[in-house]
Amino acid sequence: MYRLDVDLELPVDIGSTPLGHRRVVAFAGGEAEGDRFRATLLAGSGADWQILRPDGSALADIRYTLRTADGAFLYVQAAGIRHGAPEVLERLAHGEEVAPTEYTFRTTASIETSDPSRAWMNDTVFIAVGGRRPSGVTYDVYRVD
């Protein structure tokens, strides 16, 4: 469907909670592009509310809003996990460049919109493959038919 390149703010480390080690990584902005649309990620409209497991895996709770080039708003919610070998996750945690093939970062996603021409998105399931970069993240979002 689209590739989203996201610029990230510095994480806010909330610390250990009853559910796990929690942190929030705000989305500073970004751009989405696909066959059906181009869009801008609205600054301040998204973040990943993460729970970090003791093994270094991260449970993702991602929400953000896109504005398409023709003015439609797309509200995206995704949930999933990033996991891999402990040494790879340690390199990611230190901000190193790590090839996405060295770990797994997958989410399921839903898109909500009021745009009549894109109403089909409200009833569609999407999956995303993520890749972390030192200053951002890339999501390749696919429609599941």
Instruction: State residue 132's pLDDT score.
Output: 86
Residue 96: predicted pLDDT: 86
pLDDT of residue 135: 81
CATH number at residue 66: 2.40.160.20
pTM (predicted TM-score): 0.92
Residues in the chain: 145
Q: How far is residue 144 from each of residues 1, 100, 126, measured CA to CA in Å?
A: 10, 21, 5
CA 131 centroid distance within chain: 9
> What are the structure tokens assigned to 72, written together?
């439609």
Residue 41 confidence (pLDDT) = 98
Residue 37, helix vs strand vs coil: coil
Structural domain range at position 73 = 2-144
Is residue 72 within 8 A of residue 49, CB to CB? The reply is no
* Number of domains within the chain: 1
Give the model confidence (pLDDT) of 19-68 as tens digits. Answer: 999 999 999 999 999 999 999 999 999 999 999 998 889 999 999 999 99
Tens of pLDDT, residues 84-115: 999 998 888 888 889 889 999 999 999 999 99
**pLDDT for residue 134:** 78
Give residue 97's pLDDT: 86
Q: Could you tell me the two tokens for 44?
A: 């301040």
Lookup: tokens for 55: 């093994």
